[in-house]
Structures are given as structure tokens and as C-alpha cells.
Amino acid sequence: MLLAGISGFALYQYLTGVEDDIRSNVSEVVVYRATADIEPRTTGTDAEPNIAESTALRENVVFEGSNILCLGAAGDNATKDPNEYGCPRNPSDLASVLDGNVASGPISAGQLITQTSFVDVADTETRLNESIAEGKVAISILVDGLAASGGFIRPGDNVNILASAEVSPFDFVTMVSNDELRNLFFEQLTDEEQQALADETPTDPEAPSTPTNLLAALPTSYALTETIMQEVQVLAVGADTRAAPLATGLEPQGAQIVVFEVTPQQAELIEYARQYTSIALSLLPADGTYVPYDAQPVVVDDIFGLLDRISAELGLVLGDQ
């Protein structure tokens, strides 16, 4: 029994000595910690009551490039060499971090406070241009709910853009008849191509296929609709953005400004369509099953079959002659 008691006391003394040695080699410093959860964009003034002094292992606070707020060595080491036990290169002024700033993100209870835990409110603002992919630009149009697939278009959706307009063939012929305009809008033909085109063009003004007679048979203007762009990504709808979507669910949104993410060339097409046509958006499926197609203009005959009816009527008239 006596031997066991002596052995136990010796073991206790040994363990106590080891603990003291470990403690002597462990340095702690005074830091600031959050005592409660702090929400993003909380002002420094409102957050200050939830921040208090605490301690942390020096090795976790003092390192190259550290921006953790540190007041110096803790406990018995407070009077020792700060370069060995303290944190002279760390920032320490909590007031300057909090003054006029807001929490840059969520701060959990127990989290160490750093120089970047609170920032200027402007730095927390989300900008739409941060969401634009490389090589793309953003451009917008204003559409009502009916033209925007009933108001169910949301950021991140893909849509087709349809344009409708009144087109005059006479204006087109006038444009291509002008040498300067033709050279501006169309690729210049080679001399051989121009000669070949001239050889193929009928010169008899009485011939039914001459440009003059064909032009006379055309209507002064006609309406058409065409899908001018397919699978266009929606970047934002009003205040609802792809980067920060709102919980709109299946509630129709009505008239909204719709922002697209497109190439610079596509942006020019959309702007032209916005200026000179009426635009509608068709919503594409979310599962990627949509298959692009060779879009062609839709005119009145595609809906009502007027040409067939006119041909039939002309056939009856000519048959009576």
C-alpha cells in the first residue's frame, strides 16, 4: 500500500511538471471575438456590443500577412518581449474597423474579428456587371407581361426573341439601287459576279419576270414576324437578378425590363429590333431539350393561305375567258 501511494504521488508530480512545461511553451494573445452571431451589413455601431476581448493561441493569430486584430500577449507573458510573445505587426484598433463600416458577411459567435470583418457599405453592394460572363455584354428591353411569356420569365432562363414589323419592298429596292448604300450594307461583288448577274437579268420590260414588273406586283408593305435570336440567356428581370434571385415563384410579373447576356454583335441586333420592331419573348424549357431551328419569316399567307385562294380565284377567272 505504501509503495503504491508513493508511486501514485510520483506520477502526479511528473504529470504536473509536464503540464507546466507545455503551458510555458504555449503563448496566448488577446484578440476580439464575436459573442453572438452578427448578420451581414450590420453596422459597426450595432455590432460593437456583441464583440468582446478574448484569447487565442499566438500561432493561430500571428503569421505573415495576418489581419486579425490583436492587443498583445496574454497573462504572464504580457510584460515579456512582444516580438516573441505578443503581436506587434497585427492591427489592433477595433474602433477604426467598426467606425462607419458594416459587416462584410455573416460573423459567427466565437469568430475572430479581422480588419476585413467590417468594410465600407459600398463594398458590399452587388453589381450586375460582376455576373456577366467573359466576352459577353448586357442589354435590356422593356416588354409587357403578355409579350414576355405571360410574365413568367425569370433570371437564368433561356428565351427566343421574336420581332414583328411592317416591311416595304420598295424601300429595300431603293436602298440597293443606290451605289453608296449598296456598298455600305452588302458585300461588294467582283467584276465577274456583276457581269454574270447582268447576263442573267432580263432586259425586256414587257417580260413578266423583269424586276420592274415583279416590283409592281408586290404589295407596298407587308407584315412579318421572325425568330431573330435563339437560346438567349436572361440576366435580370427588373430587380430580380441571376446573381441574387428573388422568391417570385410562379407569380406573373407583368411589364418588366428584361436584361439579356449576349455577345456584342447580338446586342446590336437586339437594339435594332427594339428601335424598329415590336418584340416578344418565348420561354424555353429548363431541361435543355430545346433544339434550335432554321427560323424563317412568317407572313400573312403562312396563317391564312391567301396565295392559294388567290391562285384558285385567278384560275376560275382565266378559265372563264
Q: State the CB neighbour count (10 A cutoff) for residue 89.
A: 13
- Residue 122, H or E segment: none
| Mean predicted lDDT score pLDDT of the chain | 80
Closest CA to 267 of 237, 240, 229, 231: 229
Question: Can you give the pLDDT at residue 319?
Answer: 54
140 and 249 assigned to the same domain: yes
Q: pLDDT class for 43, splitting at 50, 70, 90?
A: very high
Measured CA to CA, the distance from residue 94 to residue 31 in angstroms comes to: 10
Q: Which domain holds residue 163?
A: 128-167+221-321
Residue 18 clears pLDDT 50, i.e. is over it: no
Residue 104 has, within 13 A of its CA and on its CB side, a CA count of: 11
Mean pLDDT of 53-80: 94
Where a domain ends, among 94, 123, 152?
Answer: 123
CA–CA gap between residue 218 and residue 126 (Å, rounded): 54
Pair 187, 320 in one domain: no
* Residues 312 and 186 placed together within one structural domain of the fold: no
Find cell 422593356 and name the residue.
142
* Residue range 251-264: mean pLDDT, rounded: 88
Same-domain pairing of 67 and 201: no
Check: CB of residue 158 under 8 Å from CB of residue 284: yes
180 and 84 assigned to the same domain: no
d(CA 161, CA 287): 19
Taking Cα atoms as reference points, which of 295, 275, 284 lies closest to residue 141? 275
Asked if residues 166 and 231 have their Cβ atoms less than 8 Å apart, the reply is no
Burial class (CB in 10 A: 0-12, 13-18, 19+), 55: middle
Quick one: 8 and 46 in the same domain?
Answer: yes
Q: Whose CA is closest to 162, among 222, 224, 229?
A: 229
**pLDDT tens-digit map of 136-186:** 999 999 988 788 888 888 999 999 999 998 877 666 666 556 666 556 555
Shared domain for 206 and 317, answered yes or no, is no
Check whether 86 has a pLDDT greater than 90. Answer: yes
Q: Are residues 197 and 236 in the same domain?
A: no
Helix (H, G, I), strand (E, B) or coil at 166: strand
> Which of 200, 220, 240 is at the close of a domain?
220
Residues 162 and 260 placed together within one structural domain of the fold: yes
Same domain, 16 and 134: no
Residue 12 has pLDDT above 80, yes or no: no
Instruction: Name the grid cell of 219.
Output: 404589295
Phi-psi region of 27 (alpha: psi -120 to 50; beta: other; left: phi over 0): beta
Between residues 53 and 204, the one the model is more confident about: 53
Q: What is the dihedral of CA 175, 177, 183, 186, to 10 degrees?
A: 70
Indicate whether 216 and 227 sit together in one domain: no
Cβ neighbour number for residue 232 with a 10 Å cutoff: 20
pTM: predicted TM-score of the whole model, two decimal places: 0.53
Q: Is the pLDDT of residue 306 over 70?
A: no
**Quick one: 273 and 149 in the same domain?**
yes
Domain count of the fold of the chain: 3
pLDDT at 7 over 60: no
* Residue 255, pLDDT above cutoff 60: yes
List for the chain the helix, strand, coil content (%; round to 5). 40, 25, 35
Instruction: Please say which residue of 220, 252, 281 terminates a domain.
Output: 220
Q: pLDDT value at position 318? A: 47
Instruction: Report how far apart, in Å, the C-alpha atoms of 280 and of each of 145, 207, 231, 315 are.
Output: 10, 42, 14, 39
Q: How confident is the model at residue 111 (pLDDT cuts 50, 70, 90)?
A: very high
Least-confidence region, from 26-35, 62-71, 121-130, 266-275:
121-130
- The torsion angles phi and psi of 90, rounded to 5 degrees, stand at -85, 150
Residue found by looking up cell 476581448 in the block: 53
For the chain, the C-alpha Rg in angstroms (whole number) is 38
Cell of 93: 484598433
